[in-house]
Amino acid sequence: MTLTPLEIEALLLSLRVGVVSVVLSIPFGIACAWLLARHDFPGKALFDGIIHLPLVLPPVAIGFALLILFGRNGIIGSWLYSVFGVTFAFNWKGAALASAVVAFPLMVRAMRLSLEAVDERLEAAAHSLGAGRWRVLFTITLPLMMPGIISGCILAFARSVGEFGATITFVSNIPGQTRTLPIALYTLTQVPGGDAAAWRLAILPVLLALAALIVAEMIARRVGRRVRGLD
């Protein structure tokens, strides 16, 4: 299967968007998972619902909300542009933001389930031996929940690579800037004679997502065995 330069460009842009969206989401994902798994507070159910809202909202609605908030004249976007000169709308950074928002619930859920499986008595024992909160976090809690962190990141990456609705609404369809694999595929379906290229681009996200899921399962199992001291 030979890809054209434009198809390679869309593939590389999708990979870039996926990686950036996941990397920037990790600290927020861990923090949200920690709040939901370890703390009870007023409005927790509402907070949980907001975190998982992208799973049930139409992606186009998410893209429209991002445009209102982070557009050049948006509530947050105007401030970011005037203070830092940063703009998200109609460029690849906006595509990464849209992908991160849509994939965030998958990341948080995997991390939360992994954290809930961590035996808090191990952390309590470490505290009783004089370990500080941050040392316990980085030497016990995070290593034990690492399978969930890895699974959440790879699931979020797979979802980011396939994101379409929020992305095209927020950043449009600009070749070389925002035309990711799904958007390039949509573009080809509108062009006479683009069926062959469309088939190639339809297969690529499937292969990427399948590979990501397989890798996630393999890494999670291997890390889980090491954490339990079986290797």
Spans of all domains in the chain = 5-227
Provide the CATH topology of domain 5-227: MetI-like fold (1.10.3720)
Look at residue 229 in the predicted model and tell me its pLDDT. 59
* Rounded Cα distance, 174 and 90, in Å: 8
pLDDT (tens, 9 = 90+) of the chain, 231 residues, equals 577 788 889 889 999 999 999 999 999 999 999 999 998 999 999 999 999 999 999 999 999 999 999 998 888 999 999 999 889 988 999 999 999 999 999 999 999 998 998 888 888 888 888 888 888 888 888 988 888 898 899 889 989 988 999 999 999 998 888 999 899 888 888 877 777 778 888 888 788 878 877 877 777 677 667 666 544
